[in-house]
Structure 1
Amino acid sequence: MAYEKALTVLSDPTRRAVFEKLRAGPLAVSALAKDFPVSRPAISQHLGILKGAGLVEDKAEGTRRIYAIRTGPLEELRDWLDSFWGEALDAYKTALENEGDDGHGQDRTG
């Protein structure tokens, strides 16, 4: 599943920070690299890993490569995270339904 790869790739703090910088819009490697204490080739490697996970895409503009976020994998990740919310609400509803009649979790028979 793509969300598993996205979670793994985004677990690296530098990679996650690079990804978050792209939230503001497409950027060239040089623009991204100026905000990090690592080299431009290192930023390029992080972008390559993000691209391999399908989280970013790039296009050539002259001699530069411009990177942008791809939303498809993020939607799958969000759907997966949202599934926890639905399961938690279902479990809460079941717990409430299984409580005793007095609403305090105790059965009146005992």
Structure 2
Amino acid sequence: MDKESKKEYEVNERIQYTDPISEMVKRAEREGQFENLPGKGKPLKLKGDNFSQEQQLYKTMKDNHVLPRWIELANEIDVLKEELAILHVEERKAKIKLTNKKIKQYNRLCPPSLQRNKIHE
């Protein structure tokens, strides 16, 4: 690969990355979910100097009953896995394919230490 095409590839690679938390916040803003929150316009009560922005974001999400997408996917995967036990062969293959698709999405979004393996028949 020559130097110019490698440089173009690296730029395109960076453009495609999306931060899952930022995407959730942007989607919620577009949908107007921040319009009528309790305490809107009032200062945040932060817990000391060591309370990071990320911790504040997770606390705010938790207080407003919002789950990160990767946790929603984990819950969906768990339900699908339970359903696999009672299905016949053909239905089971389709459900495994769907479950593996969700596992792939989940692995892209979750912390690396929480990634899951695909299901095999």
Which interval holds the TM-score relative to the shorter structure? under 0.3
After TM superposition, the score normalised by the length of structure 1 is 0.27
Instruction: Select the structure that is richer in strand.
Output: 1
Higher relative contact order (CA 8 A, sep 6+): 1
Tell which structure's C-alpha radius of gyration is larger. Answer: 1
After TM superposition, the score normalised by the length of structure 2 is 0.25
